[in-house]
């Protein structure tokens, strides 16, 4: 059980008959906890506060739901002066809290979470989904209305790794669907063109207007195709992130290997 540490002598809060002035709410006594114990449960108070505020909006609202008469009873826990005891942990678990995460910062991976658990996406996941939706919309718009004829387009993030948007490039170079996912963009160039391709990318980072260059790209069969390509960097892509949009068109038929 997540609170079995209480049976091993770790100090937590206990029910107390200590009261302040007449009419004041009872507050659990703050016990001195040795540094080893606090190191084990480091920052638990911040995770506890985060859970309460995310789910209930306020400490008072949590106390009403959990049946805690006085919100001030939560103060020692939220200040990190006392580790929650068995009764408090039971209230938190009944409320749906992940006790292991609150105490240790480790998520409990339960197969019982099912589809409901899959819906609880974190902030970075929602942000990434938004970026992917924007990229797909951009690709559609380029397919439908780009005035200059081209053979392929590529959308990359700042890592230059090929990810969600490789279909057009794979068709252009004769690869199977998904074969280029995870490949670094510069690895597709002929070794003799890689340095100039990198310089072309860096000039784009420096804020220069889009310009064209010609390079040899490696096809699925190991041969190379000469293509003219241009790149533009979008530095305002979602929360300050950077992405690259590249278009290319064939210059010559497939060339020899190497």
Enter the DSSP assignment of 187: G
Query: Of residues 241 and 49, which shows the higher confidence score?
Result: 49
Assess whether pLDDT exceeds 60 at residue 74: yes
**123-257: CATH superfamily:** PAS domain (3.30.450.20)
Q: Per residue in 139-189, pLDDT tens? A: 777 666 655 678 888 888 888 888 877 788 999 999 999 899 999 999 999
Confidence class for position 138, pLDDT limits 50, 70, 90: confident
Query: Of residues 1 and 199, which shows the higher confidence score?
Result: 199
Backbone φ and ψ of 87, nearest 5°: -65, -40
Read off the pLDDT of each residue in 226-249 and give the average, rounded to a whole number: 79
* CB-based contact 190:218 (threshold 8 Å): yes
Confidence class for position 3, pLDDT limits 50, 70, 90: very low
* CB-based contact 85:12 (threshold 8 Å): yes
Confidence class for position 9, pLDDT limits 50, 70, 90: very low
| Percent above pLDDT 70 for the chain | 65
In this prediction, residue 147 carries a pLDDT of 59
Q: Considering the chain, tell me which residue range(s) the CATH 3.30.450.20 domain(s) occupy.
A: 123-257
Assess whether pLDDT exceeds 80 at residue 117: no
Q: Report how far apart, in Å, the C-alpha atoms of 2 and of each of 43, 86, 174 are.
A: 17, 9, 55
In this prediction, residue 227 carries a pLDDT of 93
In this prediction, residue 18 carries a pLDDT of 41
* CB-based contact 86:12 (threshold 8 Å): yes
CATH number of 4-112: 1.10.260.40
Assess whether pLDDT exceeds 50 at residue 8: no
Confidence class for position 100, pLDDT limits 50, 70, 90: confident
C-alpha radius of gyration, the chain, whole number: 29
Q: Per residue in 182-215, pLDDT tens? A: 999 999 999 999 999 999 888 876 566 667 899 9
Q: Considering the chain, tell me which residue range(s) the CATH 1.10.260.40 domain(s) occupy.
A: 4-112
Cα distance between residue 126 and residue 256, in whole Å: 45
Confidence class for position 254, pLDDT limits 50, 70, 90: low
Distance from the Cα of residue 71 to its chain's centroid: 34
Read off the pLDDT of each residue in 10-34 and give the average, rounded to a whole number: 45
Closest CA to 13 of 103, 81, 102, 85: 85
Please give the angle made by the CA atoms of 14, 56 and 66, to the nearest 5 degrees. Answer: 35
């Amino acid at each position: 059980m997540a609170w079995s540490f209480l049976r091993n002598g770790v100090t937590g809060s206990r029910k107390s008959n200590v009261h302040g002035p007449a009419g004041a709410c009872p507050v659990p006594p703050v016990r001195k906890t040795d540094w080893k114990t606090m190191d084990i449960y480091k920052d638990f108070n911040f995770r506890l506060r985060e859970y309460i505020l995310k789910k209930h909006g306020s400490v008072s609202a949590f106390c009403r739901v959990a049946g805690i008469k006085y919100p001030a009873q939560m103060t020692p826990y939220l200040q990190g002066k006392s580790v929650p005891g068995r009764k408090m942990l039971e209230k938190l678990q009944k409320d749906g809290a992940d006790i292991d995460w609150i105490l240790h910062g480790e998520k409990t991976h339960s197969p019982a979470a099912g589809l409901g658990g899959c819906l609880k996406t974190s902030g970075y996941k929602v942000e990434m989904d938004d970026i992917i939706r924007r990229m797909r919309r951009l690709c559609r718009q380029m397919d439908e209305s780009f005035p200059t004829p081209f053979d392929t387009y590529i959308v990359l993030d700042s890592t230059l790794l090929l990810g969600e948007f490789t279909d057009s490039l794979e068709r252009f170079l004769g690869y199977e669907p998904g074969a280029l996912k995870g490949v670094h963009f510069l690895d597709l160039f002929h070794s003799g063109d890689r340095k100039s391709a990198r310089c072309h990318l860096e000039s784009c980072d420096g804020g220069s207007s889009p310009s064209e260059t010609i390079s040899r790209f490696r096809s699925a069969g190991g041969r190379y195709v000469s293509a003219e390509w241009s790149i533009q960097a979008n530095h305002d892509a979602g929360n300050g992130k950077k992405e690259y949009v590249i278009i290319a068109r064939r210059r010559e038929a497939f060339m020899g290997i190497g």
